[in-house]
Amino acid sequence: MSVPTLEAMPIDEQADEPESSLEESALRTDNLAGALTPALQTMIGFVERAKNRARAFADSYERWSETPQGKSVLKTAAEIHQFAQSAQLALDQSAERVRTWAESPAGQRVFDGLDVMMVAREIGDFYARAGIYRPLDATFLRDVLEQVEAHAPHDLRRSVDSVAPASAAWTWICEGLLASPSLARWKDQLAEALDCMEDERWHASVSTLLPIIEGVIAEKSGVLENMRVGRRLEQLLDSDQEGTPDDLIVGMVTYPALKVIDAEIFAKRGFATTAPDDPGLNRHTILHGVTGGFGTRENAVRVLMVIIALAETFDGPVGLRASTHEMTDATLMRDFGPIAKARRRAATGAATAAYPTRSADYAGSMGQRNGAAIRAPQSAVK
């Protein structure tokens, strides 16, 4: 059975189909209009009621504003608005004055001081926890601050490697240390200990360096009967000696590191409970021959770093006394200072132009101690 195609259908049959579709569409339109009419009427009624309420509220507000109470409230509101505008203007003016001050050399110096003091304290706390000190140098300070920022566990071997013989810093450390006035009496002994370290004779290094610590403290504090070395050092550091602000900054880094003197190096240790191979860094067990396990690279470097901390406490950074070292990093505090971000936001080109010489000036001022100037590296004390 064949199905007739559209072409084969009679013309009358083709015309019937469109007429039927139009009737159905008209019916659907009528039904849709009938269904939407109530909803449209409801919406129109809602809009009219809203307009009436708004008109009533406006009329009510106008009548209220003419009453004594309304006039009083409107007057107070106007005064509050005027005060707010005045306060905003004063605030904008104050903010502009603060910004201008922050951009000035005086403002930048204040920021420098705050940054240096807060960073110095953070570094000092780190050295107290780590049990090893490193000289005041931008590279080492930056390394400490990066470890603090990353909450990284302290790696003693890594710290030792950075200041041990054959390290990049070893030459200027030795030069600056041997030129330190506070160590002048022990210069020959110190030189021998440094030679021993370079030859990896760790037992000789440790036993040669340990007496220097006690000697320096005794010379500075005087020999006090029945007072242990750590207590003498504490009393010495807490004394009311005059000093510059830079002395305070250096002390904030070195003092915490010197706690190891009382806590470990000169701590009381029972001989009977100390093993013959005990690796501890304790002056009494070492110099009384109780233990022989102290001869390690780490112990030798740690003792040397304590002596450096003492030298920097009393004489300023050892790097300033070394012709082979230049303290020229001008970005340390701008990178790591607690308010460095705020300062960078406030700084302008004029303020930034003052920075290149700031670090060198600061390094030069840190060399001042009791009126005795330690000059810049180019003319360092030999």
Q: What pLDDT was estimated at residue 333?
A: 54
* pTM of full prediction above 0.75: no
Range from 118-122, 177-181, 363-367 carrying the lowest mean pLDDT? 363-367
Residue 26 pLDDT class (50, 70, 90 cuts): low
SS3 content of the chain, % helix, strand, coil (to 5): 70, 0, 30
Q: What pLDDT was estimated at residue 142?
A: 83
Residues 374, 323 contacting (CB under 8 angstroms) = no
pLDDT (average), residues 148-170: 91
In this predicted model, which residue has the larger pLDDT, 322 or 28?
322
HEC states along 115-132?
Answer: HHHHHHHHHHHHHHHHCC
Residue 20 pLDDT class (50, 70, 90 cuts): low
What is the rounded CA–CA span in Å between residue 159 and residue 140? 9
Residue 372 in 3-state DSSP?
strand
Of the candidates 300, 302, 304, 269, the residue with the CA atom closest to the CA atom of residue 283: 269
Q: What pLDDT was estimated at residue 375?
A: 29
Alpha helices in the chain (DSSP H): 11-65, 68-103, 105-130, 138-150, 156-163, 170-178, 187-198, 202-221, 229-237, 245-257, 259-260, 283-287, 297-315, 332-336, 340-346, 349-352, 358-366
Residue 174 pLDDT class (50, 70, 90 cuts): very high
pLDDT (average), residues 365-371: 34
pLDDT above 90 as % of the chain? 21
In this predicted model, which residue has the larger pLDDT, 189 or 345?
189
In this predicted model, which residue has the larger pLDDT, 260 or 179?
179
Residue 306 pLDDT class (50, 70, 90 cuts): very high
Q: Tens of pLDDT along 81-123?
A: 888 888 888 888 887 887 777 677 777 766 666 667 777 888 8
pLDDT (average), residues 16-39: 64
Q: What pLDDT was estimated at residue 281?
A: 87
